[in-house]
Amino acid sequence: MTVSKGSDEYVPSLKYDWLTSLYDSLQKWTFPELSSQSKLMNQSTIELGYHVLDIGCGTATLTILIKENHPDAVVVGLDADPKALEIAKKKAAKDNLDIRFDQGLSYQLPYDNESFDVIFSSLLFHHLNREKKIRTLKEMFRVLRSGGELHVADWGKPQNVFMRIAFLPVQLLDGFETTLDNVKGLLPELFRNAGFSEIQQTAKYTALFGTFLLHKLIKI
């Protein structure tokens, strides 16, 4: 997915714009994306007519997976990168899937209060500095209906020194400032501070580049 730097300018998910077209291939060979995203989707409760938002959808691997498994849900993907969204639209069109894609920033969501029943976020938060993590979570809380679910997949605190060393390439690529909260295991605290009262870690993966966690949050 894409995020912004200090201002509202976005940064491509792999830092360099020319790598966007290679994102799906690189993810396939370096990260257990499909297995973790399937788990993330399967832990959600999506019913007929639900409005579902994938924030930082990138090239829409997760967004498409959601729509394929819940064809009667209204599924929206949001990302800041127009190139990633073009790839996403082509993938969805190829599979004849009715998915709406919006261009926008995670911390300035272009949606009304309580617009969505379920929100997903995969590999988004480690791209954001502390301020934008907080703003993004507040926006997620705002557009999620009461009783709605937020499902987050992202890097977490390394379980051992080997995983800590393995995570260094991610920090070199995506930045030490933005990944610091992940390394320190602070995401659950940020979730609570945003207003989410039911927070559950649902899975832990040992990936090539570190420790990867899934969380399920409820807005009470």
Convert the pLDDT of each residue in 42-66 to its tens digit.
999 999 999 999 999 999 999 999 9
CATH number corresponding to 3-218: 3.40.50.150
Q: How far apart are CA 200 and CA 217, in angstroms?
A: 6
DSSP 160: S
Quick one: DSSP state of residue 100?
E
pLDDT tens-digit map of 158-187: 999 999 999 999 999 889 999 999 999 999
The 3-state DSSP class for residue 66 equals helix
pLDDT value, residue 70: 98
| Residues 9, 13: Cα–Cα separation, whole Å | 13
